């Protein structure tokens, strides 16, 4: 009978997959007692993303009782001053509605420490605040340090964390560090950064944030591939002609001149976001979605990337010039405040890559990103080979293009399938039609912000979406030769704002007999 224990000799059914998560998914997976310490709380990232994400997690009941939020910056603030900053940021940028009772509970754990990154006494005060939180808020020695600061300060901060004892753990407690991209300026600097982090924290306690990996549609790429039997059999060189990965922005650099100049589009976006999307698209099915298994498969892809022999013909870089965008005439990159007139920083980057594996041999992957393009869109498009059309006359399929599966990552998240269908009428005429899946139409719950998922993963110690240092270095090994080739070429090609990039990018893909998609 139901509910009775098995009798001797009864056959007991067990889950055939011992790695399967069998917990009740109706119950939220809440982290244990902990705090989050944010360095650089006055910056845009903290104000627009991190603080609102913390509130949204609290509003959804996903933070533990007694959770604490600590800010560290060079401001003469008391705890209540920082609490007001958080309050204003939450009301302005939070995804969920503001509820006073949630805010009151959260605000009780807000603290602030004034100081700069070289001030040893400030880190000693921070250590005292953390100790007090263990006693007052019950955080039990569990603290995550979020470095929302320029990478050049990472080494200074982690050394101060070590000197002050903030990185040390007692039995059963944890300390974690979170760093934002860019993860270095090139391979050499990335290795220096990795050594600095590894000297202080265990590899499992280092979280490198790539916020694109927290987006629902990026994670849905894994579900699309591995939860369905209809896609995986054709996800290979036998059927795929090529893959295009695009991240286009319709804005310029705004007030980020100090950060952006000298870095450029390739370092800012391609080395991390686009390489990670390529790895998720091309990797083999992992044994599980545990971090180690996913990381192994992504590293295999990145290690198998082959650069074209002629980098000048199969890569492209550009810099936006003045032009019309959205009915407004906008200035060029060299007209932006704080940009030197002789800057050679790229604001557009494109590259053709191949992956030397059995699954993808001979299939080109085209990556492109740029600012001041025609529209804001991020997508991954798998373009399939054309059918031979043997039963059809040439005129029957004159309007038929390539089948495509397009994962729309932003702004209108979803998936589009493009295939051929007969036009109604007496003749056999076939042309392209689209079948759309949109997140907003299929699900009643809105997608959480990427930083909500990523912060929650940090506090839970669940790192499958975070690149490890091996992935970072493999990506730089791909990009460094491209950047060196561009440095030899000199100034990047100018392109008008509001278009789809420089002509050299169109020529690059045209050499292979293909064209860029117009999302």
CATH number at residue 128: 3.40.50.720
**438 in the same domain as 289:** yes
**245 in the same domain as 169:** no
Q: Residue 476 in 3-state DSSP?
A: helix
**482 in the same domain as 424:** yes
For residue 283, the model assigns a pLDDT of: 96
Number of alpha carbons in the 13 Å side-chain half-sphere of residue 20: 8
**108 in the same domain as 251:** no
Confidence of residue 267 (pLDDT cuts 50, 70, 90): very high
**241 in the same domain as 173:** no
Please state the pTM of the whole predicted model.
0.88
Cα–Cα nearest to 453, from 54, 6, 59, 5: 54
Query: Among positive and negative, which fits the CA dihedral 218, 219, 220, 221?
Result: positive
In a domain, 13, yes or no: no
Of 132, 156, 180, the last residue of a domain is 180
The CA distance from 199 to 193, in Å, is: 10
**354 in the same domain as 220:** yes
Q: Is the pLDDT of residue 55 over 60?
A: yes
More confident residue, 163 or 449: 163
- Is the distance from CB of 123 to CB of 115 less than 8 angstroms? yes
In a domain, 389, yes or no: yes
Read off the pLDDT of each residue in 39-50 and give the average, rounded to a whole number.
92
Of 143, 273, 314, 469, the active-site residue reads 273
- Is the distance from CB of 213 to CB of 466 less than 8 angstroms? yes
Read off the pLDDT of each residue in 111-139 and give the average, rounded to a whole number.
96
The CA distance from 211 to 16, in Å, is: 34
In a domain, 200, yes or no: no
Most confident option among 3-7, 68-72, 410-414: 68-72
In a domain, 491, yes or no: yes
More confident residue, 378 or 5: 378
In a domain, 460, yes or no: no
Q: Residue 261 in 3-state DSSP?
A: coil
- Is the distance from CB of 83 to CB of 108 less than 8 angstroms? no
Token duo for residue 231: 């896609």
For residue 467, the model assigns a pLDDT of: 85
For residue 464, the model assigns a pLDDT of: 63
Give the CATH number, domain containing residue 350. 3.30.360.10
Read off the pLDDT of each residue in 508-512 and give the average, rounded to a whole number.
97
**233 in the same domain as 167:** no
The total of other beta-carbon atoms located within 10 Å of residue 326's CB is 10
Of 130, 164, 180, the last residue of a domain is 180
- Is the distance from CB of 470 to CB of 299 less than 8 angstroms? yes
Provide the percentage of residues in the chain whose pLDDT is more than 90: 70
In a domain, 137, yes or no: yes
**173 in the same domain as 221:** no
**139 in the same domain as 64:** yes
Please give the mean pLDDT across all residues of the chain: 90
Residue 112 sits at φ, ψ, to 5 deg, of -140, 140
Beta strands in 284-376 (DSSP E): 305-306, 315-321, 323-325, 328-330, 348-355, 364-370
Of 180, 204, 227, the last residue of a domain is 180
- Is the distance from CB of 63 to CB of 102 less than 8 angstroms? no
**226 in the same domain as 108:** no
Q: Which residue has the tokens 């056959």?
A: 11
For residue 24, the model assigns a pLDDT of: 52
Q: Which domain holds residue 39?
A: 35-180
**355 in the same domain as 219:** yes
Q: Is the pLDDT of residue 383 over 70?
A: yes
Q: Is the pLDDT of residue 211 over 50?
A: yes
- pLDDT tens-digit readout, 277-298: 999 999 999 998 888 898 999 9
- pLDDT tens-digit readout, 439-463: 777 776 666 788 898 899 999 987 6
In a domain, 30, yes or no: no
Is the bond leading into 8 cis (omega within 30 degrees of zero)?
no
> What total number of domains does the chain contain?
2
For residue 1, the model assigns a pLDDT of: 42
**223 in the same domain as 173:** no
In a domain, 5, yes or no: no
Q: Annotated catalytic, 185?
A: no
3-state secondary structure 380-413: EEEEECCCCCCCCCHHHHCECCCCEEEEEEECCC
Q: Which residue has the tokens 């922005």?
A: 249
């Amino acid at each position: 009978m139901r509910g009775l224990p098995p009798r001797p000799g009864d056959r007991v059914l067990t889950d055939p997959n011992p790695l399967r998560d069998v917990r009740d998914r109706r119950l939220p997976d809440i982290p244990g007692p902990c705090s989050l310490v944010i360095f650089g709380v006055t910056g845009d990232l903290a104000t627009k993303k991190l603080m609102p994400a913390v509130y949204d997690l609290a509003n959804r009941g996903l933070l533990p009782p007694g959770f604490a939020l600590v800010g560290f910056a060079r401001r003469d603030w008391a705890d209540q001053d920082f609490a007001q900053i958080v309050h204003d940021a939450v009301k302005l940028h939070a995804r969920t509605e503001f509820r006073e009772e949630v805010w009151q509970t959260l605000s009780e754990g807000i603290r602030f420490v004034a100081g700069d990154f070289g001030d040893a006494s400030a880190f000693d005060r921070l250590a005292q605040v953390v100790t007090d939180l263990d006693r007052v808020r019950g955080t039990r020695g569990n603290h995550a340090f979020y470095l929302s600061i320029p990478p050049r300060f990472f080494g200074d901060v982690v050394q101060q964390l070590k000197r002050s004892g903030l990185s040390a753990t007692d039995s059963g407690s944890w300390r974690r560090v979170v760093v934002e991209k860019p993860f270095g300026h090139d391979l050499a600097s990335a290795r220096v950064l990795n050594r600095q982090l590894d000297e202080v924290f265990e590899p499992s306690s280092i979280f490198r944030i790539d916020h694109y990996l927290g987006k629902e549609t990026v994670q849905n790429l894994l579900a699309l591939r591995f939860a369905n039997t209809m896609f995986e059999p054709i996800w290979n060189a036998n059927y795929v002609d090529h893959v295009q990965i695009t991240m286009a922005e319709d804005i310029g650099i705004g007030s980020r001149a100090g950060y952006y100049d000298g870095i450029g589009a390739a370092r800012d976006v391609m080395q991390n976001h686009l390489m990670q999307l390529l790895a998720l698209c091309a990797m083999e099915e992992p044994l599980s979605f545990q971090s180690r298994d996913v990381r192994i498969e992504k590293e295999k892809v990145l290690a198998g990337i082959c650069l074209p022999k002629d980098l000048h013909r199969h890569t492209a870089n550009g810099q936006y010039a003045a032009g019309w965008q959205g009915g407004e005439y906008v200035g060029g990159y060299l007209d932006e405040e704080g940009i030197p007139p002789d800057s050679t920083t790229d604001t557009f980057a494109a590259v053709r890559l191949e992956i030397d594996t059995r699954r993808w041999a001979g299939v080109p992957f085209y990556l492109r990103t740029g600012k001041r393009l025609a529209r804001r869109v991020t997508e991954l498009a798998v373009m399939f080979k054309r059918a031979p059309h043997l039963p059809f006359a040439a005129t029957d399929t004159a309007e038929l293009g390539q089948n495509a599966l397009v994962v729309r990552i932003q702004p209108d998240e979803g998936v589009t399938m493009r295939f051929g269908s007969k036009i109604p009428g007496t003749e056999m005429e076939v042309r392209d039609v689209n079948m759309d899946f949109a997140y907003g139409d299929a699900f009643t719950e809105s997608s959480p912000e990427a930083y909500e998922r990523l912060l929650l993963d940090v506090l839970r110690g669940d790192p499958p979406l975070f690149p490890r240092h091996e992935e970072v270095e493999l990506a730089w090994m791909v990009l460094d030769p491209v950047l060196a080739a561009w440095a030899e070429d000199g100034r990047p090609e100018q392109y008008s704002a509001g278009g789809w990039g420089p002509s050299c990018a169109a020529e690059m893909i045209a050499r292979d007999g293909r064209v860029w998609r117009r999302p």
